[in-house]
A and B are shown apart, each in its own frame.
Chain A
């Protein structure tokens, strides 16, 4: 066979999908073990916090005026006569069964409360982080590419304002302007008073529930309510994301492989997006995951200003009224979010960075 024939027979070897996904799967198994350990640690800490808090759990149930006998009955019912270790295992058992006890404020199971408030925060934070990414990343890249130009200066001011303006002030001004004066958006709350409970709650996120029910009036109304607080959170994360993107990009743009790409005759657009940007994806994922976790934890100030019944204001209210079951339940959920997002970004690293395999 001549050399030429050999060459014509060669075809690019396509890497099969299974081979691409394999590192992902293997990593998932490894990660699973560390997750179990981390969650165990999280529960241990919340348990200890619950026990060292100078709040008598029995008193907060039966009240100051209770007789000794009802106090003792509640004491035994809570299992407080058992050794701490046994109590901890009771606690673990309950948590595994998604039982965080009942809230003292409204006498409903904490799990039910969280299932109600968390989707509200999830909806708000997800739209917020998407806005932060969609505007923050290109702004950061542009600022790095045009370093020192007026675009860079504007990006700097935009981010600085985002960092340093108190979010409640921006929120109030936003409400005043866009709701009060211009009437472009809905006011506080998740939907207008006439739209409450019209669509059945499936996911707890009104936008999605309205879509599932095909009720576009509710969707529009809910959208007009969420857009302002979500933009506010989006702006807040944009400030952070764009600054980090800029500094990551500056680091990459001065690397030698960028010169290589230019020597190849590539356009500046390709140099920036096909070469430099590919190298900052891993770092960006960390930054975005952290901001997202921060937003999911509940932005108390935003939630209060916009009367948004999310997890941030739920935990804060519970804390102020010493509702320990609700506080601990909320803390566990927030901890879980951080753990999950960390795992997720760890897994994405393996996809985006060949060196991490």
Chain B
């Protein structure tokens, strides 16, 4: 005899299986990619045993190392710059009475999230092409500035969230205890804001590291980052060393994101 199932108000038919199918569907392709980056055979059709060869091959490839260096330089600089700018902007837009122009400021800060990347990419292509023609400069500077701009909202969000959660009376107390505005910022606001700033930096770094479209449009010839290098390689065939690169990049993202989550959980 079938046992009548207990009634739970939160149960909706089919929710559990669908959700588990979604989670499986999200992770199966990524896990496959990671597993096959260790496959000795050059195709997913066969499994010829475990190997690190593809990682070694990627490591010894000058083009890959060059792209990796570019990626890290651009992401590091863009993350530092955007986090700095976002911190100032967050301090200017939180915990004070609304003032004229605040809506426009929000719109400007979030603009990179709203405008399709491809449109920003062609817009920057136009500007960069003009500057290149005028100055002849073809370095990483374009990428750093462009990445800084679109990383600002990503850095801004966690910093702003942290600031809004902070008790404004602490700064009042600091002022009451003879701290000048600068001392109050240095000894009270900044130490408490630090986890938010670090979290913002991490998100900005990951965002810069992941960018394909804008970089692809404004990079100078021969100046690849890891994603644009991988995109370029794909024109030919999907090679296992691209798998290895993807897995390595995935690992880096995982580490940074785990760090971000731990930081944002600690505040609550």
Partners in one complex: no
Q: Which residues of A are at the interface with B, using a C-beta cutoff of 8 A?
A: none
Q: Which residues of B are at the interface with A, using a C-beta cutoff of 8 A?
A: none
